[in-house]
């Protein structure tokens, strides 16, 4: 509760407990209203460096700190807004974009990739592996559940149109990471991606009422509140 109240004061995000995994639609829809559902259980002590399912360490050490950053909060909400009224196929595409950004994304800082995805921040093992090309580590690490040496990962510029089509493993370290130039740039790219989803309406979030209004796609003035 203390963390949730702190985040609400900083960026308007709140954390709500959940007993287990939600559907992609329910989880992403909540982000549109700056609500993050957090699991309550903890990884098994025999696997402290990696967990294929989100646990409380993943949520509080990985996600929560970034939600205090205004630009990251805006980016996360943009994915949520894009999910409202989206088709099942587009929900899957958005969930994949979420995977390669909020969960396992890298972002440039002073010209160098830095980890911001919660899946990396909450996994000492995978964070070392993901940043091995930057740190010059010749031995990237071990591969999650398989405990076998993993090849060096591939970096690609963040592009939601490409990331949405990229397959990914869920029980091993990622072979591909997408690198954003900045959170603001990633947000603008997600906004453009959302406009390509083919919904017959656009959305506007009101932070004062914590509600969403819909407007016809062909009425640009409505998006600016000038009806």
Q: Find out whether 81 and 214 touch, Cβ atoms under 8 Å.
A: no
Are the CB atoms for 157 and 65 separated by under 8 Å?
no
Q: Is 87 a catalytic residue?
A: no
Helix axes 70-83, 88-98, angle to 10 degrees: 160
Query: Which of 4, 76, 83, 122 does the annotation list as catalytic?
Result: 122
Q: Count H helices, E strands: the chain?
A: 12, 8
Q: Which residues, in sequence order, are CB contacts of 124 under 8 Å at separation 6+?
A: 49
Active-site pick, 4, 59, 103, 187: 103
Does residue 45 have an active-site annotation? no
What stretches of the chain adopt beta strand conformation (E)? 14-17, 35-38, 106-109, 112-115, 154-157, 176-180, 201-206, 211-216
From the list 58, 101, 123, 187, the catalytic residue is 58
- Given a contact cutoff of 8 angstroms between Cβ atoms, the answer to whether 177 and 153 are in contact is yes
- Contact yes or no for 63/38 (Cβ under 8 A): yes
Rounded to the nearest 10 degrees, how much is the dihedral formed by the CA atoms of 88, 72, 158, 137? -120
Rounded distance between C-alpha atoms, residue 63 and residue 38, angstroms = 9
> Considering 63, 83, 123, 128, which one is annotated as catalytic?
63
Whole-angstrom distance, CA of residue 67 vs CA of residue 59: 11
Give me the active site residues, please: 58, 63, 103, 122
């Amino acid at each position: 509760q203390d963390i949730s109240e702190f985040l609400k004061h900083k960026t308007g995000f709140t954390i709500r407990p959940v007993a287990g995994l939600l559907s992609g639609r329910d989880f992403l829809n909540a982000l549109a209203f700056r609500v993050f559902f957090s699991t309550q259980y903890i990884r098994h002590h025999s696997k402290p460096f990696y967990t294929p399912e989100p646990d409380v360490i993943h949520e509080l050490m990985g996600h929560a700190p970034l939600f205090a950053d205004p630009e990251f909060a805006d980016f996360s909400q943009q994915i949520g807004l894009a999910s409202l009224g989206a088709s099942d196929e587009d929900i899957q595409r958005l969930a994949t974009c979420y995977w390669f950004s909020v969960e396992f994304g890298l972002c440039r800082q002073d010209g160098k990739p830095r980890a911001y995805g919660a899946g990396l921040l909450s996994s000492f093992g995978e964070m070392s592996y993901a940043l091995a090309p930057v740190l010059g580590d010749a031995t990237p690490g071990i591969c999650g559940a398989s405990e076998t040496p993993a090849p060096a990962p591939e970096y690609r510029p963040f592009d939601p149109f490409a990331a949405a089509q990229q397959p990914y493993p869920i029980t091993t370290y990622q072979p591909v990471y997408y690198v954003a130039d900045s959170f603001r740039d990633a947000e603008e790219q997600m906004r453009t991606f959302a406009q390509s989803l083919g919904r017959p309406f656009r959305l506007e979030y009101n932070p004062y009422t914590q509600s969403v209004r819909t407007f016809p796609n062909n009425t640009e003035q409505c998006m600016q509140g000038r009806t």
